[in-house]
Amino acid sequence: MPTIEVMPETLASQVAAGEVIERPASVIKELVENAIDAGARKIEIEIQRGGIAMLRVRDDGCGMSQQDTAKSLERHATSKLRTSDDLNGIATLGFRGEALPSIASVSRFTMRSREADSAEGTEIRVNGGKMGELRASGCSVGTSIEVRDLFYNVPARKKFLKAESTEAAHIEHQIRLHALCTPGIGWLLRKDGRVVLDLPATSDRRVRIEAMSGGESGKALIEVPRHEYRGIVIEGAILPVAFARRGRKHQFVFLNGRPVEDHTISRAIREAFKGGLQEGLQPAAWLWILMDPALVDVNVHPAKRE
């Protein structure tokens, strides 16, 4: 029997990537959540060929120092947790310190970052987990991450990707989810050189919903007034029964600023329409829920969705 050995760091990151990075949309999710946590007011995303050939996320957040830029590519390096007690009150979207090294281990990865009080930024390139030298960069304040040739060194993973149009649709869905979470952030998505989503920042959630729903549905929104019960705050919007559709793709639930999936909440939404819905149809709804982070275990699911 072979002896037990500790895996090399690059291999360990590639194994972790199998849990965290399923497809280009997984990369987008991790990168835009980092941008939101960094206090970005504008996030720009560009993808080519469904994000398989290239994807780039650029933000105007706080940026990182040269030291932190390098450290962010080490596994389990994070600015968001210091002790095990911090797990009981997670208020950020990211916290594990796994995403960047995992992404960099299965792609050709370039990161540029600059803090507001720095005269110049830092650039680092990583090819399949092999880190290059840190270099000075004339980048703007914030962080820009470019990922090329995703899974180029893990062909078994790459062959399970779907058509480019399907992967692009998954990316757009992720961006729409996070744009609904964060109306105060402006979002821009370019797909193969063409702008497909341009959402200016707004202080009004309804404006963001209308911009993303469009047409008659945007005009028909019904407000769900703010309601507080035992420290849990719920507010949002719904559409009349006439806009009900099959499936739950028009139901959006956000818990403490994080998109989540919860079948109990979905059932409760449908129950609220009881008697008015045809069998098999689901109402359209947008719900924002706020509660004590200590009562929520976002670490229970690898992708933090449930």
pLDDT, tens only, 21-65: 999 999 999 999 999 999 999 999 999 999 999 999 999 999 999
Residue 4 within any structural domain of the chain: no
Give residue 276's pLDDT.
83
Long-range contacts of 186-190 (CB under 8 A, 24+ apart): 186/41, 186/42, 186/43, 187/42, 187/43, 187/44, 187/45, 188/42, 188/43, 188/44, 188/45, 189/44, 189/45, 189/46, 189/47, 190/44, 190/45, 190/46, 190/47
Domain check: are 96 and 219 in the same one?
Answer: no
Residue 176 and residue 293 in one domain: no
**Which of these three, 152, 171, 199, is where a domain ends?**
199
| Backbone phi, psi, residue 235, to 5° | -155, 165
- The strand pair at 42-48 and 186-191 is best described as parallel
Has residue 1 been placed in a domain? Answer: no
Is residue 286 within 8 A of residue 252, CB to CB? The reply is yes
Q: What's the pLDDT tens digit per position in 214-256?
A: 777 888 999 999 999 999 999 999 999 999 999 888 899 999 9
Q: How many domains does the chain have?
A: 2
Within-domain flag for 3: no
Domain boundary among 172, 199, 226: 199
User: Model-level pTM greater than 0.95?
Assistant: no
Q: Of 154, 174, 199, which residue sits at a domain end? A: 199
- 205 in a domain, yes or no? no
pLDDT for res 84: 53
Do 131 and 227 fall into the same domain? no
Q: State whether 217 and 101 are in the same domain.
A: no
Q: How far apart are CA 72 and CA 67, in angstroms?
A: 9
Say yes or no: 146 and 228 in one domain: no
Secondary structure (3-state) at 253 = strand
Residue 262: predicted pLDDT? 87
Give the pLDDT score at 3.
64
Kindly state the DSSP code that residue 248 receives in the 8-state scheme. S
Q: Give the range of the structural domain holding residue 160, as residue numbers without chain letter.
A: 9-199
- List beta partners, residue 189: 45, 197
Domain annotation covers residue 27: yes
pLDDT at 182: 96
Distance CA 27, CA 51 (A): 9
What CA–CA distance (Å, rounded) separates 234 from 211? 22
Asked if 88 and 203 touch (Cβ cutoff 8 Å), the reply is no
Low-confidence ranges of the chain (pLDDT < 50): 81, 302-304, 306
pLDDT, position 161: 97
